[in-house]
Amino acid sequence: MMEKRVNVRVRGLVQGVGFRMFVVREANARNLSGWTRNLPDGSVELEAQGTSGLVDELIRQVNIGPSKSRVTSVSVRETTIEKTNENFRILY
């Protein structure tokens, strides 16, 4: 299985609506490692690493978001794979 790591920026109504916990649940359900955090501009950033197809599934879920969110844009870029076996977590 191919592995990849992506950096994702999510914009819209994504803070104060349970978005980061949603991302953590979706990522951990797929055994992905990485993190998510709120940014000062109101967006959410995340990095996720794991099997390519499972990372793609997470990106699809992030485009939908939890019920109280309203995602207006998602930008994704591949980044360097890191040696890690940490669970997915909220940085802040």
| In contact, 46 and 23? CB cutoff 8 Å | yes
Q: Which residues make Cβ contacts (< 8 Å) with residue 89, sequence separation at least 6?
A: 24, 34, 35, 36
Active site residue 20: yes
Catalytic residue among 11, 20, 31, 89: 20
Catalytic residue among 37, 38, 63, 87: 38
Q: Which residues are catalytic?
A: 20, 38
